[in-house]
């Protein structure tokens, strides 16, 4: 099966993060096309897969186009029933679907006041009463799910499910705007920030595309609260320990230094996403 997945900007597109996680976390192969957020013409860039006009959008193997993230989750679960997109336990599955649906259709104050921006974290975003009410609701439903079905793990309904993919951008917002939540919610946010897939997405967001000024807020910045990446930097070199890129298998042309060692990649993006957070990339860590 070949899926064509269309995504927006890694740093800013919260719905794209959800769609990407549905493929990445459940091992579903896809071809990816990025839509350029800098010219703000997403619908025009998707004309070849009409009627889609928003991201994420997926062209399924039978040529059906689906451009609603919840519909994408359900259709992938139908086509890949053993992938674990929804929990197998009936109660956990119903709860996970309810959680994803509530995220899909609610929390408008949080979305509007705190647009996702994974390039920065703020010290004090001065949340409004409406945002605080959204956070209180999140704490209620997250704690209920984890108490009822979390089985002592970090995710909402047992193993990682589509519900967690839907709340990953919310975790990014809470971290990015330093929003006040209790210990249970903070632990759930920390699980997302530490998740290698989330870290890979954020690493790509740090190095791909422009910093878009319309997402900036006038708050004092702080250090990103997730795991600190190991130091790695792009360098000018002519050889590396590896002859082929760890991702594509192509000959290396771009180089990175980490802990006194030189590694090679097939293009600048492969190098830069790795330098942004080396431990997020299993194929690179196998070289290290």
Give domain status of residue 267, yes or no.
yes
**Structural domain that includes position 172:** 90-200
Say which DSSP state 190 is in.
H
Q: Is the pLDDT of residue 232 over 80?
A: yes
Report how many domains make up the chain.
3
Angle at 207 between CA 192 and CA 282, to 5 degrees: 55
Q: What is the residue whose two structure tokens read 């431990």?
A: 279
- Whether residue 154 sits in one domain with residue 244: no
Query: What is residue 47's DSSP assignment?
Result: G
Which position has the token pair 């108490």?
147
Mean pLDDT over 174-195 rounds to 98
The DSSP H or E segment spanning 5 is strand 4-7
CATH of the domain at 22: 3.40.30.10
Is the pLDDT confidence value at 39 over 90? no
Q: What is the CATH number of the domain that holds 194?
A: 1.20.1050.10
Model confidence pLDDT, tens digit, residues 84-97: 999 999 999 999 99
Pick the last residue of a domain from 47, 79, 111: 79
pLDDT tens profile 11-36: 999 999 999 999 999 999 999 999 98
Over residues 251-278, the pLDDT tens digits come to: 999 999 999 999 999 999 999 999 999 9
Does residue 37 register a pLDDT over 90?
no
* Tokens read off for 148: 């009822």
Give 205-231 pLDDT, tens digit per residue.
999 999 999 999 999 999 999 999 999
Check whether residue 169 and residue 143 sit in a common domain. Answer: yes
Q: Are residues 60 and 107 in the same domain?
A: no
Question: How many CB atoms lie under 10 A from the CB of residue 112?
Answer: 11
Q: Do 195 and 265 lie in a common domain? A: no
Pair 122, 177: CB distance under 8 Å: yes
Q: Do 120 and 159 fall into the same domain?
A: yes
Q: What is the pTM of this model?
A: 0.97
Extended beta strands in 116-179, E state: 121-122
Q: Cα(16)–Cα(60) distance, rounded to whole angstroms?
A: 16
For residue 40, is pLDDT > 80?
A: no
Q: At residue 1, does pLDDT exceed 80?
A: no
One domain, residues 73 and 162: no
């Amino acid at each position: 099966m070949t899926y064509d997945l269309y995504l927006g900007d890694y740093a800013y597109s919260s719905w794209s993060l959800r769609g990407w996680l549905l493929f990445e976390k459940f091992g579903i192969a896809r071809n990816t096309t990025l839509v350029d957020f800098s010219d703000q013409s997403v619908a025009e860039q998707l004309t070849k897969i009409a009627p889609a006009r928003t991201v994420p959008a997926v062209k399924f193997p039978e040529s059906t186009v689906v451009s609603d993230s919840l519909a994408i989750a359900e259709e992938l679960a139908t086509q890949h029933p053993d992938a674990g997109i929804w929990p197998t336990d009936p109660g956990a599955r119903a709860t996970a679907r309810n959680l994803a649906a509530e995220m899909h259709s609610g929390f408008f104050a949080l979305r509007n006041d705190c647009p996702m921006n994974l390039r920065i974290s703020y010290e004090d975003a001065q949340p409004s009463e409406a945002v605080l009410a959204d956070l209180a609701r999140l704490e209620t439903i997250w704690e209920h799910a984890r108490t009822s079905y979390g089985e002592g793990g970090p995710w909402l309904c047992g193993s990682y499910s589509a519900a967690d993919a839907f709340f990953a951008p919310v975790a990014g917002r809470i971290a990015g705007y330093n929003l006040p939540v209790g210990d249970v919610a903070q632990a759930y946010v920390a699980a997302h920030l530490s998740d290698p897939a989330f870290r890979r997405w954020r690493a790509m967001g740090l190095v791909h595309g422009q910093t878009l000024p319309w997402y900036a807020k006038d708050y004092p910045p702080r250090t990103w609260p997730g795991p600190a990446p190991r130091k790695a930097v792009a360098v000018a070199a002519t050889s590396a320990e590896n002859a082929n890129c760890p991702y594509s298998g192509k000959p290396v042309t771009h180089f990175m230094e980490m802990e006194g060692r030189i590694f090679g990649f097939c293009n600048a993006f492969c190098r830069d996403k790795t330098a942004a957070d080396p431990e997020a990339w299993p194929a690179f860590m196998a070289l290290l």
